[in-house]
Amino acid sequence: MKARGKRTDGPVSRLINRRVSGRISGYIVSHDIPLTPNQASLISAVVGFLALPLYLAGQPALAGAVVQVSSILDGVDGEIARARGQASRLGGFLDSMLDRAVDIAVLLGLSLYAYITGLPHALVLVASMLALAGDLMVSYLHARGEASLGVHPLLLGRVPSLASRDVRLFIVFLGSLASQADPRASLATLLLVAVLSLTYVALKTVDVALGYREGMGGGRDS
């Protein structure tokens, strides 16, 4: 496979996901299977959406497994696009929008599972809102950084990819497995996603500002 990964890949993508998605993409490309990058994005999203009804059915372990499979498949679209020279701005836009929709569905499903298992409702509400806010803020930080500064924030500064999408979904995967034995793990998972994401956003915002000024000579202040 050509250009299998990206410089901005998170640790889970580099160590786990790409090892699997690269083989899938390699098979698709080498056998000339007529699957477009956008179709691959849609398949990954559909798999991710399946987690929501599984959480509602009281099957968090199976839902978590589905989440991780979707996370792995999320790399296939870009790998196919790079290997076949089919990368496009529209494809990147659609993939990003589908990713956000899946993230919302996954966190909603995990939150509802925590709610229906009888955990303190107020605490579940706060944890779910903070987890969702952190998830979306990480994505916004990266997207806004590229749009405003012309460079991905992970390529600036020293703070590593602590809460990239692959990391967040892997945490949900592990937390969902644990939730099958103890529903309290679902609440702990939401809180962990929230704390990790919001901490990363705060640190990386400062890191990007300092890194951009020092490494690129500044720019617009607003």
Phi, psi of 108 (to 5 degrees): -65, -45
pTM (2 d.p.): 0.92
Tens digit of pLDDT at every position of the chain (222 positions)? 444 678 889 999 999 999 999 999 999 999 999 999 999 999 999 999 999 999 999 999 999 999 999 999 999 999 999 999 998 999 999 999 999 999 999 999 999 999 999 999 999 999 999 999 999 999 999 999 999 998 899 988 899 999 999 999 999 999 999 999 999 999 999 999 999 999 999 999 999 998 877 665 444 443
Distance CA 203, CA 119 (A): 31
What DSSP designation does 75 have?
Answer: T
**Locus of tokens 């979707």:** 70
- Residues 74-112 have pLDDT tens digits of 999 999 999 999 989 999 999 999 999 999 999 999 999
- Residues 154-175 have pLDDT tens digits of 988 899 999 999 999 999 999 9
Q: Which domains does the chain have, with CATH numbers?
A: 11-216 (1.20.120.1760)
Active-site positions? 99
Distance CA 55, CA 180 (A): 10
